[in-house]
Amino acid sequence: MKPVIQCPAIAAALAAFAHSPIAVSGGLTGADIDEVVVTAQRLTLSGSPRAASEGTVLAAQLENRPLLRVGELLEVVPGLIVTQHTGDGKANQYFLRGFNLDHGTDFSTRVDGMPVNMPSHGHGQGYMDVNFVIPELVDRVVYRKGTYYADLGNFSAAGAADMSYRDSIDAFLTLSGGEDGYARAVAGGSVDFAGGTLLAGLEHDRTDGPWLLPQDLRKYNAVARWSRASDDSGLAVALMGYDGEWTASDQIPLRGVDSGQIDRFGFVDPTNGGSSHRYSLSTQGFRKLGAGSLDFSAYALDYELQLFSNFTYALAPEGDQFEQFDDRRVFGGALTWEQSFDLGVAVDWRAGLDLRSDDISSVGLYLTRDRIRYATVREDEVRQTLTGLWTAVSTRWTPWLRSEFGLRADRFGFDVSSDLAANSGSGHETLASPKGSIAFGPWRDTEFFLAAGGGFHSNDARGAAIRVDPADGTTPVDRVTPLAKARGSEIGLRTALIPRMQVSLSWWRLDLASELLFIGDGGTTEATRPSRRRGFELGVFAKPRDWLIVDADFAWSQARYRDDDPVGDRIPGAVEAAASLGIAVDLPTGWFAGARLRYLGPAALLEDDSARAPSSTLVNLNVGRRIGERWKLGVGMYNAFDERANDITYYYESQLPGEAAPVEDIHFHPVEPRTFRATLQYTIAPRSQ
């Protein structure tokens, strides 16, 4: 949660803005926004949330947050941990609510109204790469967790985040440099143009990292966004472009490090890595029409990923490197109608339509040596469409009781054309998901919540059409259901009873009928068992002084398979606890500082819990000073205590060159050692000028 720190008059205006039916700031949306407003000595409750585990983080809170990589922006979601297990040009690894979310499955992210997750992706279902985001341009992050929201569809069972870009920003130039060849340049600004505001931003990022195999990351981002808004309507049109390429050391086996054969920051295959691009055109807006209002969005994007990996090294005589390739065009949009009624009680009705079509001209898995293809495991063309219809009715029955009940219906259709005719096919599935929540209060600045609902994630269309193992073309393989159902519930509270502090607490449960996933590394499907996750989350936001902000959260979860199997009931990779503590200081003298502690708890690596991933605690720091109205100088220290920890840990079978047979072992990717970075920012045209 994030306060709006202003004088009382401005704070009151912002509070009214947060409650207004149409919000005209970044994002141009009529959606409810939950903000904490600082007035006098108390943080007051505001907004109309459906659960205690939702909130909004504004740009001011992001400003002094030390970020090693852009994906860590999503760690503003309490309980969410972001790591990396290969080159930084690739999508991050995410952990939330007892999920190893891999690269995004079951956590949905949107940027300026565009979905980020990629279904039927070459590397992993729901692949969520946010490398195209420029952090300095982000206006807010709205997060929600659970299956209780009618407007959230695919990949949102564990949670969802919406990032919105600013409408305008002071023109600036930022230069950063640091150890291991790190260099970054960012420029941005806005001007009045064609009756609205044109925002533009450019970013170039490069680093080799601490790895013995230089990462040689090269990343380029560009944004051009025009927007215009009034009380009755708003419109934004955005062009975004991203290009990146990198070399990756990937995860390495523990036995190789223990024996001295491989350095902790070493590698096995020097030709791993990849490249990716994402180009998009999008629009979103709103318009009041009579007694109601219409929100709308539309987007088109061109995307490609080429990824070379080698996780098992030398099981095959030719080597184990493989290439995953994904080339697609995506088109989609959404409409939301909202209207209020006075039926003796206050009623707000919303209804919406979501549509997304993925035209994947080529999604393939190939065997390679030194990035040269020598065999095709499978190659497909996939066309799939997901259509969602939803409605929700919110009612304020009394000053202390409100509810929202909704229903969502999704239809998933797909057509797969495979290089192996037996694995071609088409089909569809429809799923209805009821949603509901009840809120009680506030009493003495305290509210209580009950919420429950159904959700889902789509499975890879190739897994829904498959008949035989593509590796041999004959072994029968079971098809998977196109849509994997989820059921969740939550009880929680939030309170601002203590002066200058807001606290939220929630207990939750989430059941999946089956964690069916397409295994991109093997070209086949894996049908895992029905599961149950449960846990609690505690979040605290405090402003003890006008210049000091403290936020903290703790999340505990238990993840188990629900059926009986002698192999065990643990879900591999399910982190059992996560915590963070953040401190932000912004003194009137111009000095500022930020500190963040992040704890990633242990996890079972096998169903019988015989191998476990260790916990880790990392601390990032930054300090700086504003010099006049134009200059800002800062220094960051990441992994300040130089902890010897892992970003990711797996347990599987591999064979190093020279070994006579495969070995089951822990494989890991280390966190980066302590590193320093310096940043100089020049504001070209301050608002006060």
Element (H, E) at 15: helix 8-19
C-alpha 103/C-alpha 84 separation (Å) is 9
Confidence of residue 521 (pLDDT cuts 50, 70, 90): low
Q: Is there a domain that residue 688 lies in?
A: no
Dist. CA 386–CA 578, nearest whole Å: 33
What is the per-residue pLDDT for 686?
65
Output the CA–CA distances (angstroms, integers) from residue 557 to 451, 468, 577, 578, 647, in the order listed.
Answer: 18, 37, 6, 9, 19
- Could you read off the pLDDT of 402-430 as tens digits, one per residue? 999 999 999 999 999 999 999 999 999 99
Count Cβ atoms below 10 Å from residue 43 Cβ, excluding itself. Answer: 23
Instruction: Decide which of 61 and 121 is more confident.
Output: 121
How far apart are alpha carbons 542 and 537 in whole angstroms? 17
Residue 689 lies inside a defined structural domain of this protein? no
Using the predicted structure, report yes or no on whether residue 38 has a pLDDT greater than 50.
Answer: no
CA angle 422, 382, 247 (to 5 degrees): 110
Q: Between the ranges 30-34, 334-338, 565-569, where is the mean pLDDT highest?
A: 334-338
Evaluate the omega torsion of the peptide bond into residue 442 and state whether it is cis, within 30 degrees of 0.
yes
Report DSSP state, residue 372: E
87 neighbors 562 (Cβ within 8 angstroms): no
DSSP output for 121-188: -SSSTTB---TT--GGGEEEEEEE-SS--TT--TT-SSEEEEEEE-S----EEEEEEETTTEEEEEEE
Express each pLDDT in 96-133 by its tens digit.
999 988 888 899 999 999 999 999 999 988 999 999 99
- Closest C-alpha to 517, from 500, 531, 537: 531
CA distances from 419 to 239, 260, 307, 475, 479 (A): 35, 44, 20, 16, 17
pLDDT of 254 > 60? The answer is yes
Alpha-carbon distance of 270 to 249, in angstroms, equals 7
Look up tokens 């941005």; give the residue.
Answer: 188
Residue 577 CB neighbour total at 10 angstroms:
17
Q: Which of 429, 423, 397, 392 is nearest to 407 (CA)?
A: 392
Residue 495 falls inside a structural domain: yes
Percent of the chain scored above 90 by pLDDT? 83
Give the C-alpha separation, 41 to 55, whole Å. 21
Please state the domain count of the chain.
Answer: 1
The reply to whether 418 falls in a domain is: yes
- pLDDT exceeds cutoff 60 at 687: no
- Is residue 393 situated within a structural domain? yes
How much is the pLDDT for 18?
A: 32
Overall residue count recorded for the chain in this entry: 689
Q: Judge whether 270 lies within some domain.
A: yes
Task: Report, as an integer, the average pLDDT of 515-528.
Answer: 54
Q: Using a pLDDT cut of 70, give the percent of the chain over it.
A: 91
Residue 71 has pLDDT above 90, yes or no: yes
CATH of the domain at 398: 2.40.170.20
- Is pLDDT of 176 > 60? yes
Coil/strand/helix, residue 463: helix
pLDDT at 518: 42
Provide the pLDDT confidence category of residue 16 given band limits of 50, 70 and 90: very low
Domain of 640?
A: 3-683
Q: Which residues pair with 69 in a beta bridge?
A: none
Rounded Cα–Cα distance for residues 591 and 70 (Å): 24
Instruction: Look at residue 26 in the predicted model and tell me its pLDDT.
Output: 32
Work out the pLDDT band at 277, boundaries 50, 70, 90: very high
Q: What is the pLDDT of residues 314-335, one digit of tens each?
A: 999 989 999 999 999 999 999 9
Mean per-residue pLDDT, 3-21:
32
Residues 34 and 54: their CA atoms lie apart, in Å, by 8
Tokens linked to 38? 């600082």
CB 519 within 8 A of CB 526: yes
pLDDT confidence bin for 69, thresholds 50/70/90: very high
- State how far the Cα of 34 lies from the Cα of 2, in Å rounded to an integer: 9
The pTM (predicted TM-score) of the whole model is 0.91
Confidence label for 382 from pLDDT (cuts 50, 70 and 90) = very high
- Rounded to whole angstroms, the Cα distance separating 418 from 302 reads 22
pLDDT > 70? residue 40: no
